[in-house]
Structure formats: C-alpha cells, structure tokens
Chain A
C-alpha cells in the first residue's frame, strides 16, 4: 500500500473571460492566465491527506503537455506531492490530445509505478469531458469510484461515497482502483511560501508518450469552435393565460 498517482491538468483559469480564435479553430490561450484545474486540486488534496494519515507512502503528480505544465506540477509539489512526472506532448499532438490518450498514458504509468490508486479530477473545466477517469479504469480493468465526495481506506478496500443525480451512493471497491474527485470531497490547501521553496528541491521526471508505448493519434477531429449564441431578451407576460397563449402561438405547445 504505497503509491498514489495524481493527474493534474493545466487549464485556462476559471476567472478568465474566454475568447474564441478568429479562425474558430479553438480558444485563445496565448498570454492568457492558466492554473491547475480546480477538480485536480481537490484530487491532489485528497492524495496528500491520505499520505498525512499514513495510508500511503508516496504521491506522484503527473501532467501531460508542453513545458508550461511543469508550473502545474510544481504547484502540486508545493501542496505536498513527493515527486512529479512530466509527459512531454506538444504541438499538434497537444492540441489533439483528449481523454483517450491521457487515459492510455495514465494506465501505462499506473502499471509502471505500481500504483495502488489513481486519483483524478472528475472533469476538466475546459473540455468538461468527464471521461479520463472512467477510460483509465477500463484500460487497466480496475474498479472505479467516480464523483467521490468522501473516500475512506479500509484495509485493501476503499469506501467511496459518490454524488449521483438521485443523491449519494456508497460503494466499496478493491484496490488498486481509480477515483475521480468531485467538488465536495475536500477544500484544497493554499500552497505556503515555505512549501513552494521546498518543492523546488523535489524531482520532476521527463518522459514521452512513446516511452510508455502510447500512440497519441486522435480519433476525434475538432471542426469548429463557436461562442454560445447571445441570449435574446425574454418577454414578460401578465397572467398564466397570456403565457399559455404565447407558447401556443410560437408553436412550443
């Protein structure tokens, strides 16, 4: 019961106003503020907490992307992860990178690092895919505890309380397993300046997807990116009868 892999994704900061590129191929990322995906922060926090409670010995932070993602790995290190792995992906491969490619990388790493748990954020706030955790578990043929709002280690098993549409569901799964963090799992700690200093001494290993035997070819092609249509003004009506009449008139009912 030793090692946990945590995935951290570098995304456009949640407070930034997103702008679509003039050629509609994507959103503007140059010069835009980026930070760690909020759900990944929650995942890191959970992993570090498990280590503090002595359920695990080592937390490894992993990120895939160009050089800039090392900033995100360092933030994870400052929060308490022991070491980092930077899987270098850049250029076209990076733009086309999606949950399937990441899941393949994580599956390979989980085996290589002999991880007992892989903890990810439930989804990223840029693509909102909500697939990586599930795909990783499937590739590894491991149990999965997704949308976790509470995680308890019980010997060789993990009890996970999941947030589902109908309420809360509690499951017990065997390790090794994949967990994905939901909003209420915990409140991530603030990186303190001394910890950021200590993080400078922690190691970040570099590798390429090819080193893990992963092919980055995407089966998905983005055709076009548009902003949501501007919301049109609504119409106020006085009575319920008026409302019904209007809805009938425009063919809604």
Chain B
C-alpha cells in the first residue's frame, strides 16, 4: 500500500507503464481515428463510434470527458474485458428475461411455425425456382411472419427480441433463403422506422409492412461503396420549393430489391458544418416509396446461394421524397444505419444456431447408421471429433444469441461489440459445421438430394453481408482499444494529481506488480460460475488478465498507428471472440448445473472442452503479439502481397521453367 507523497517520477511512470507523453496519444488516436474512419466505416458502427470522438483534437477530449460518465460505467462484458476487467452483470447469470405470459405465448407460436416449415415450405423448390413459391409467400404473410416485431396495435405480432430469436431459429433450421427474404424485410428493411421513425411514419407504414402487403428493402451498398459505406454517392438535394428531396443514384445487391415497395435509402447530402463553417457531405436516411416515381430495379442476380431471396440493383432517378420522409435526423443517417444493423445482428446468430442444429441432426443420423469396416462410423475417433466440434460450435452460438437477445430485452443499450462478435462467430461456425457435416456424410453429403450442399451454398454470404467478418473484427478490436485507451487516459490524468488519486494509483501499481510477478490480480469469477466449473472459470480469468495486458501493450507500442496494424487487430479480435465465447458457455453451463437439468453434465463437458481449447488459442495469440518472429511474419506477408499485386498474380516462375 502506497502512503505519503507520490510524485510523477520516471520510475512511477515505468511502474505504471505509462508514457508521460501519453495524453497526446489518446488525442491522436481520436483524431487519426476520425481521419481514418472512412477506412473502416462499413461497420458503419465504426464511423459512428469514432464519430463520438468527433472531429478535431479538442472536441475529442471534451467528448471523451462528457462520455466518460457513460463509457466508464459501461456494463458490457466485452468493453470491460479489453481493460482486463470483469463486469459480470450482463453475462452472469444467463439471462432469463421472459415472464410467464411471454413464455406461454412463445410456446404456442413455435409448433405452428415449425409445422409450416416442415410440411409446407419446400426449400429445394425455392432454390431451384430461385424464388420463394407464391403459395408459400402467401401463407407466410397470413401467418404474420412479416411483422414479428411490429407492435400489436399496428398489426404486428409484437415479439420481444428473445421471442423473435426463437422463431427465426426455426426459419434458419429449414430455409435460409426464406430467412433472408423475411430478414431483409423486417430485420433491416423497415427496422429503421421501428427504431427511429416518428409516430406519423410508424402509423403510415408499419401496418401494411406487418402484413406483408408491402415489402421493404435496405438500400446502402453501391458499386463503389461496400465496406466503405461512408463513401456512398447517391445524392439527395433539397428541391427549390423546399418540400422534397430529389434523390439520384444507384444501389446494388439489394435483398428484396425487386419486390419491395418501401425502401430505407441512405444518401449523402452536402451540409454546412457548424464548427468549421464548411460544406461537408453527411448521410441521411430516407423512407422512399416506389410509388414516388423514378424508382426502378434490375433483374434478379444469379447467386451462389440463398437463391430464393431476390437480390437486385435499385435505381433512383430524380425521385421526389417528401421532407417528412427523412428517417431520424437530417445528416444523422450513419447513426441510423448503425442502429439498424446492430439491432438486427443477434437474429443472425439465432438463425444460424438453428441451421447448425439441423445439419448436426443429419450428420448424427448418418454416423449412427452407416457401417464401414464392420462398425458404425460414429465409433471411430475421427468422426467423434467432428461431431463433438460441431456440437460445441452450435452450443456457443446458441448461447451467444440468447445471451445478447436477453441483454437487449433487459434494456441494455451497450451490446454492439457482443453483437458483432456473435455475427462473426455464428457465420464462421455455421460454415465449419456444415462443411464437416458434408464430410461425415461422405459422397451423400455432396449430392443435391441430401440438401446439405444447398445449406453450404446459402451460408457463404453470411460471412460477407451485414458487415464483412474482416471489417467487424477490426471494429471489435478498435472499439475495444478506444475504451481501453480511455481507461489509460484516466490513469494518466490521475498521475497528474497523484495525491488526489492515491487509491487508484496504488491499486494500479499493486495490480501490475502482481502481474509481473505472475500472481493473480484478484480478478475472479467465483460466485458467478458454478463450483463444478471453477477450473474453466479460472482459465477465463487468466485469459482476461493476459488479454488486458496485451491490449495495453499494443496501445503503448503502436499508439495512434494501431489503426493500421490490421494483423494485430485481427488477432486481438480473435482473442476477444474466444474470450466472450468462453464466458458465455460458462454462464449457460453454470445455469444448467444450478437448475439441475438432465443435460447439465453433458453441458459441463461441452463448456470445459471449449474453454481448454479457447484458452490455448488466446494464449497463442497473446504470445504471437509479443514475439518478434510474428512481427517478421507480418512484414513478410506484406511483402508477399505487394509482390503478387505488382505482378498481377503468382510471382515465382513455374518449377518446370515454363
């Protein structure tokens, strides 16, 4: 315990591993972040998050201080783990958010929806027709499937996020093409109206959207703007009369583009920036009706998968959009886009956990019956490992989906990192699981008749759309760094007034000294994790500690340039994903053990196995980030890439010389 005078000595700075010049770094990160926001703005979330730090350095500090109260109090587990801290409030115990009425209602909804997808919807037919059969569309509309989250008084089913997740899981299990048709409509197509629409807009549009009388589409992507969404060129200019915006531009790869009547369109508008006095392009979101005139679309795109979902180019030619149809604030379109995508992300994890359930059942059925070399193939280790991995991946995904939907239903607004993590994890897990299912089934898996190849083709897009997994990894890492950076900054401020912050400083020094000595810093999950899982809980705690240290190290080493170190960012993100996954299954398995579920011991094994392997992966990433040979590897990769780009392809001459 430090007593007496604490002065800002170089020794102290070293002990706290903070450069005296650190204050500059935080501001620099803020400024550079904004300059480079364009780089990572697909997850439009990144831009808006970086936007929080605003333009210019002084505003960065002001915004940081203003938001300090908010962000320092973040309850998000992911945000805190980047600081090497544990905030268990959102992850332990596993959320159970439905009251009796909601549970009963959901239990009544599941059988008819399942029955419909088992008996009526024909995914193979939808795939070969490259559209959802008309009769199926009609039945889905009658069923109310197009307005699941629209409030009941506006004609929808009024489901909570958790209830929605459960139903979307059924759709995901049977037909992802239908899933995207429904999702493009309600998860993103008109979600903006639900989230930020005015009462008048909601009353006008939601009833017909809820019954499926009109379909919706989300229009952001352009030929030159995919991940770099901030660079969109579709233009909205105020008409001379001041009553309309005139919309001009073209969007590509719009799901439901050929079917929709209502479009959420993002366009840029030149606006006066109050602070600089200069004109700046800001994005605004609009509700555009096809009936406004000037809206046309191209033919359905031919795709690898989700063929039943309509994907088309949409063109806007001098479309008059009434000023009442601005969605959210003028110039606030980016935040709207972020809110929409964030809000819908959990749905993907839920749907994909259903998809995995379905293919695992097929793989198990095959493995349990197929005899080769005299035994059922599920008795062989190679197959056992596949089935086990598939099961764990599904368990993690499902746990993430319902943890996030539970957090959202409890009112949390701070879930964007977790949502991004769940999207990355679910899309990659589903791909791996389905691929292994085909492998288990052998030749049968490759044949159209089994239906698994269709699922594989349908799944590929999930790693690409709604924020490519590569961009989302950068987002997770950068977001985490920003919060960790703020923490370091507040420490740095404390250093300026050591007497007034003796406690904080003393705590930090003790913590770091312990870390250096290899001792536990007192971080614990005891009390949250079930005693039978305490070993795995300890692995998670150790991983968080090492992860927190690594994050700090990277910040101190690279400073503002961390933005450019994508090799580093990817590995930090991968570790964050593994960490969140560990904690999520610890929570779920703990609950099963506490509640004495019949499956509790099985879940315990799933959890323990996952944690052992995730811990190893995290520690490897941590080690790599410290190692000089990995730094060399990054440099080499950069050089290899430069060479093949310059050569337009493979550089090394053919071994045969020609």
Contacts and interface: CB of A to CB of B under 8 A. Distances in A.
Interface string A70-104: 01001100100000000000000000000000000
Interface stretch (B7-15, B108-116, B179-187, B276-284): B108-116
Given A194-B157, A197-B152, A74 B108 contact: yes
A220 B157 CA distance: 47
B139 interface: yes
B112 A190 contact: yes
Contact of B145 (A75, A191, A193, A200): A193
A194 B108 contact: no
Given A190-B115, A190-B116, A197-B157, A75 B108 contact: yes
A86 to B, nearest CB: 15
Contacts of A131: none
Contacts of B139: 190
B136 to A, nearest CB: 12
Interface in A35-86: 35, 71, 74-75, 78
Interface residues of B, number: 19
Contact of A200 (B105, B113, B143): B105
B120 interface: yes
A1 interface: no
A192 interface: yes
B142 interface: yes
B144 A194 contact: yes
Contact of A192 (B105, B120, B142, B152): B142
B108 A192 contact: no
Nearest to A192: B143
Contacts, number: 39
A97 to B, nearest CB: 24
A187 to B, nearest CB: 11
Contacts of A214: none
A35 B111 contact: yes
A138 interface: no
A128 to B, nearest CB: 23
A196 interface: yes
Contact of A191 (B105, B112, B148, B152): B112
Contacts of B115: 190
A71 B142 CA distance: 22
Interface string A176-213: 00000000000000111110110010000000000000
B108 A71 contact: yes
Contacts of A200: 105
Interface residues of A, number: 13
Nearest to A13: B111
A71 B111 CA distance: 11
Given A190-B116, A190-B120, A196 B109 contact: yes
- Which of B111, B143, B157 has the most C-beta atoms of chain A within 10 angstroms of its own C-beta? B111
Contacts of B108: 71, 74-75, 78, 196
Contacts of B157: 193-194, 197
A32 to B, nearest CB: 13
- Which of B107, B143, B148 has the most C-beta atoms of chain A within 10 angstroms of its own C-beta? B143
Contacts of A192: 112, 142-144
Contacts of B158: 197
Contacts of A191: 112
Contacts of A74: 108
Contacts of A197: 105, 144, 152, 157-158
Nearest to B211: A194
Interface string B100-134: 00000101110111011000100000000000000
A35 B118 CA distance: 15
B156 to A, nearest CB: 9
A193 B144 contact: yes
A72 B115 CA distance: 15
A239 B172 CA distance: 53
Contacts of B143: 190, 192-193
Nearest to B598: A31
Nearest to A191: B112
A3 to B, nearest CB: 25
A74 B144 CA distance: 18
A29 to B, nearest CB: 16
A241 B142 CA distance: 62
A35 B113 CA distance: 14
- Which of A191, A192, A193 has the most C-beta atoms of chain B within 10 angstroms of its own C-beta? A193
Contacts of A71: 107-108
B109 A193 contact: yes
Interface of B: 105, 107-109, 111-113, 115-116, 120, 139, 142-145, 148, 152, 157-158
20 contacts: A35-B111, A71-B108, A74-B108, A75-B111, A78-B108, A78-B112, A190-B115, A190-B116, A192-B112, A193-B109, A193-B113, A193-B148, A193-B157, A196-B105, A196-B108, A196-B109, A196-B112, A197-B144, A197-B152, A197-B157
Given A193-B144, A194-B144, A197-B144, 11 more contacts: A35-B111, A75-B111, A190-B115, A190-B139, A192-B112, A193-B143, A194-B157, A197-B105, A197-B152, A197-B157, A200-B105
Closest 10 CB pairs of A and B: A193-B144, A191-B112, A192-B143, A194-B144, A193-B157, A192-B142, A196-B108, A190-B112, A190-B116, A192-B144
